[in-house]
Structure formats: structure tokens, C-alpha cells
Chains A and B, each alone.
Chain A
Amino acid sequence: SAVISQKPSRDICQRGTSLTIQCQVDSQVTMMFWYRQQPGQSLTLIATANQGSEATYESGFVIDKFPISRPNLTFSTLTVSNMSPEDSSIYLCSVEVVSDEQYFGPGTRLTVT
């Protein structure tokens, strides 16, 4: 397994602003992912954070709205840009430590007012 931390754990933001969420892992991992969990809905993959190259985004998610950085094998950031109330959600990073086993961070609870 892996120890994954996220900062901040929660935040309340005003519409139109941006928030950057950090994800730190205690070991080097190849695969890092960002998910969104909206109230009452299932987890949805936003993008795969690739080290040394641009992130790979899923359908419905774009880089201008959710820019991602992956400067090394233990760290990634997700920015939620120009926020609206519809962006209120829990944002989770996950890592694949062992093949076919993804482990999740504690999540960042975002409320946009």
C-alpha cells in the first residue's frame, strides 16, 4: 500500500476563484490519478497525471478548467479554475502502487459559494 496525503482537507471558495489541491505519496509511483466524487454520485476519473508530460484527460474534463502538474514521482497538484457552485465536490487523488491496485488519498472537500 501507500500513505497518501492531500492538502487542503477542505475549503470554502468564492465563485470565479481557483483552488490548487496537493497530493503527496510516501513512495515513488508511476501512475497517479485525480477523481471527483459529487454528492450522491459515483467517483469519476478526471485525468491521469503523467510525470514529465501533460496529463491525460477523460471526456468532459479539460485542461483549462482542471490543470494538473506532476513534477516528480511522489507529488501532483490539481487546480480547479474559475470555480462555480457546480464544482462543489470531493476531489481525490489515487496511486497505483502494485499493478491493478489503486489506493486513494483522504480527499479534499470543496464548497463553492
Chain B
Amino acid sequence: EDQVTQSPEALRLQEGESSSLNCSYTVSGLRGLFWYRQDPGKGPEFLFTLYSAGEEKEKERLKATLTKKESFLHITAPKPEDSATYLCAVQGQGTDKLIFGTGTRLQVFP
């Protein structure tokens, strides 16, 4: 069964303190791995799609990496506005269905 596990559940960082969020997955044939950001009361905001092991993508202070079993979302020198829940999802071959993890709630304090 396809599954996504995210850790930690919650993360508190001081402004400027870099860290990484983890997304472990099992899927029968990976079509894509997705990262989203979700602010309270809003829908998920698309960040990245990764397709194959070794791939990396960057956007501002965020960098996503992918291996055959997990993905990391690295946050460099975070700011308070980076506070949000970060969701990871996988999509298997032959389907449009996204399977989501439960997310990591990030809080960045000034």
C-alpha cells in the first residue's frame, strides 16, 4: 500500500536557524513526489515536484531533494513568514491520485 510519513510532526526554529523536514514514502512506481505549503485556513500551495532520485529543486530559502525512499525539504535561514504546515505527497504510476502525509507544522520565531 502506498504510504507517506512525515517527520517531525512539529518543528520550532529560531529565525536564521536552518533545518530539514523529512518525508519517507513507499509507492509502487513513483510518478512524482510533491511538496506543498499550507497556511491556516487556506488550501495547500504548490511548491515542488520531484521525479527521480538525485533530483533537487530550489525556491527562495527552500530546497527539496529526493532519494529512492525519502525526500527532504531543507530550509535555509528561515524567516517568521516561513511558518506554515509543509505537506508531502506521492503519486504512483498510472494514477492522478495524490497520497499525502500528515505534514510538519513549522514555527519560526524572531
Contacts and interface: CB of A to CB of B under 8 A. Distances in A.
Contact of A48 (B31, B43, B51, B96): B96
12 contacts: A42-B87, A43-B87, A45-B98, A48-B96, A92-B43, A102-B34, A103-B46, A104-B43, A104-B45, A105-B43, A107-B41, A107-B42
Contacts of A41: 102
Nearest to B98: A102
B96 A106 contact: no
Interface string A87-113: 000001010100011111111010000
Contact of A100 (B45, B49, B100, B102): B49
A31 interface: yes
Nearest to B91: A100
B31 A100 contact: yes
- Looking at chain A's contact residues, the main secondary structure is strand
A102 B46 contact: yes
Contacts of A100: 31-32, 49, 51, 91
B49 A106 contact: no
Interface residues of B, number: 23
A40 interface: yes
Interface of A: 1, 4, 31, 33, 40-45, 48, 58, 92, 94, 96, 100-107, 109
Given A58-B97, A92-B44, A104-B43, 6 more contacts: A31-B96, A42-B101, A94-B43, A100-B49, A104-B44, A105-B43
A99 to B, nearest CB: 9
A44 B3 CA distance: 12
Contacts of B34: 102
